[in-house]
Structure 1
Amino acid sequence: MSRSERSPLLLAGLLAAAGTAHFAVPRRFDHIVPRSLPGSPRAWTHASGAVELALAAGLALPRTRRAAALASAAFFVGVFPANVKMAVDWRHRPTPQKAAALGRLPLQLPLVLWARGIARNAEGRS
């Protein structure tokens, strides 16, 4: 299997793991939901987990890969405010936790670019 064939499956696996974690350990995600969003943080945690699972399924299937990759890129942009909130909220925590929260911020850009690259590859194959 070539790198371009593995890439969407790797991103699908990452999203599936994250989506599953939103249901398995939701408290970990509830606290990073921006307060400005209406409704309960748990509802947003479950909704984002469901979206991640749906995106993973879409990326895994060649027929829906392009649309799922573009939606994944948009999703990564959309969850950035939660990562900013986490970094701000964790600024007084011990150094390893603070570093993890800050480290999430620059990771969003490679995720967006990865998803866009998958979409571009899927476009060329249709």
Structure 2
Amino acid sequence: MGERKRTKQAGQALVAGKTPKNPVVINARTPDSVPARLFGLGLAGAGAAHFTAPGAFEPLTKLAFPRDTRRWTYSNGLTELLLGLAITFRRTRALGAIGLFAYVAFLGSRFTGSRGSAES
């Protein structure tokens, strides 16, 4: 039986309120998330900017990483670049989101830890 004929019969059975004998299964992927892609590309761009203009990131980086600030600037840039690319692509998005959560927690602990030691 041809594809068109089966599709027509399945449609007629559905209209009549019956379950079609040979249902047509359409394998469709859901559309990709544009906001997630844009966020990922933005994060990757910010990570790449750590390499092109590290001086712009050093004052903020120095708060959490007072020693070896330039090395930490490059390390954070690489981390943001890789996480951003992971979030950009659907296949690795979940892993990238978990990594981003861990990275933000790590940065938060560094900022609160350095602020606590500065107040003492």
Query: Which bracket does the TM-score occupy, shorter chain normalised?
Result: 0.5 to 0.7
Q: Distance in 1 between matches of 2:70 and 2:81?
A: 16
| Residues 18-75 of structure 1: CA deviation (Å, up to 9, x unaligned) | 1122111101112222467475101000000001110111112222110111111222
TM-score (norm 2): 0.57
Compared CA separation, residues 83 and 24, structure 1 to 2 (3 A): farther
* Percentage of matched positions with identical amino acids: 28
**Structure 1 residue 70 corresponds to structure 2 residue 98:** yes
Compared CA separation, residues 78 and 57, structure 1 to 2 (3 A): same
Compared CA separation, residues 36 and 78, structure 1 to 2 (3 A): closer
Residue 123 of structure 1: aligned partner: none
Q: Distance in 2 between matches of 1:21 and 1:33?
A: 14
The number of aligned residues is: 87
**RMSD across aligned positions (CA):** 3.4
TM-score (norm 1): 0.54
Compared CA separation, residues 36 and 7, structure 1 to 2 (3 A): closer
The answer to whether the Cα contact below 8 Å between 1:32 and 1:82 also exists between their aligned partners in 2 is no
Q: 1:6 deviation in Å?
A: 1.0
Q: Residue type matched to 1:57 in 2?
A: L
Residue 104 of structure 1: aligned partner: none
| Residues 71-126 of structure 1: CA deviation (Å, up to 9, x unaligned) | 11222232236777xxxxxxxxxxxxxxxxxxxxxxxxxxxxxxxxxxxxxxxxxx
Residue 25 of structure 1: aligned partner: 53
